[in-house]
Amino acid sequence: MWTRTFLLFGLAAATCAAASLIRPGAVWPDNRGEHIQAHGGGIVKLGATYYWFGEDRSRNNDPEKRYVACYRSTDLAHWEFRNQVVKLADPENLGPHWVLERPKVFYNRRTKKFVMYAHIDGRGYSFASVAVLTCDTVDGDYRYLKSFRPLGHESRDIGQFIDDDGSAYLIFEDRPNGFHIAKLSSDYLNVEKDVCLIRQHLEGGALVHYHGLYYAIGSQLTGWRPNPNRYATAPSLAGPWSEFRDIAPPETNTYGSQSTMMLKVAGTKATTVIFMGDIWKPAAQWDSRYLWMPLEIGGGKLWLPAPADWTLDVKTGVAAVRAASK
């Protein structure tokens, strides 16, 4: 009897854990059973709920429009589709094949508005600007406001960072100059001031503050093809930044992925920093996959372990990696 109860309990626990697996590179079904469309994405946390925004490249989208989808979760493994929060028709007359990429949403506590930044461009990527959209609710329909070049600079890939004091930063790739970390204005509708320009050509930029050090990561400029992503550290956002080093064995090209964000999950027992990357499939973008793994981080070192299925307890912050997959 005892054994049976124990066994049943064990089985239930195993089923539960299996259902919460995060599986790098796999199809990631949402609550409807459809592969999550949140490519080049970002996450904002409200209370205990995470909202994941990203490029929605569903096959049946209108090819003239660009879409951003929003999902929500409390465990970072199960995602509920909320809305195609952006369904936009070429607001700047950029022509066929215009792009709206890497959407990132910031919540402004003062104005109570949700402010989305995205990379807006034409087919040849020469418009090189950010688009700003706003909404009164996190997963409502976002309204297009404007586009501009942050601080007058070219801007292609963007990233977002919220510091521990709540300050919001836009990371942007400026081809002639490098990797900018720039502070948003108090209403988040503008990019106010460069906090640092790292003179490195890196995109897919992401930042995290972990145990007193800032870690920046980025990929090299190879379009949809993966490359060895790199990281540097600094005691403050303004620098000085260390040399950039590989985050994974360079021959793996970041295990076929490209950085989009680092997400810090601080629990009661541990703080896990998740590397969020995209495994792009340029000829079948709707099927592009995600590579999320807990980073080995601390003491100025950052390392992306080989992809394997893993679980995360968002309450304790403890991540458990299974035996290497595939």
Q: By CB under 6 A, is residue 307 in contact with ligand GAL?
A: no
Which position among 7, 136, 193, 224 is part of the footprint of ligand GAL (CB under 6 A)?
Answer: 224
Site for ligand GAL (CB under 6 A): how many residues? 9
Nearer to ligand GAL, 118 or 304 (CB): 118
Question: Does 139 contact ligand GAL by CB under 6 A?
Answer: no
CB of 290 to ligand GAL, least distance (A): 14
Q: Is 174 in the site for ligand GAL (CB under 6 A)?
A: no
Binding residue for ligand GAL (CB under 6 A) from 42, 103, 204, 218? 204
Asked if residue 309 binds ligand GAL (CB under 6 A), the reply is no
d(CA 199, CA 204) in angstroms, rounded, equals 15
Interface with ligand GAL (CB under 6 A), residue from 22, 23, 36, 40: 40
Binding mask 263-282 for ligand GAL (x = CB under 6 A): --------------------
What is the number of the residue whose Cβ is closest to ligand GAL?
Answer: 223
97 touches ligand GAL (CB under 6 A): no
Query: Could you say which of 10, 29, 223, 249 contacts ligand GAL (CB under 6 A)?
Result: 223
Least gap, CB of 31 to ligand GAL (angstroms): 27
Query: Alpha carbon 306 to chain centroid distance?
Result: 19
- Amino acid occupying residue 206: A
Q: Is 56 in the site for ligand GAL (CB under 6 A)?
A: no
> Which residue among 56, 101, 139, 309 contacts ligand GAL (CB under 6 A)?
101
157 binds ligand GAL (CB under 6 A): yes
Tell how far CA 135 is from the center of its chain. Answer: 20
By CB under 6 A, name the binding residues for ligand GAL.
Answer: 40, 101-102, 157, 203-204, 223-224, 258
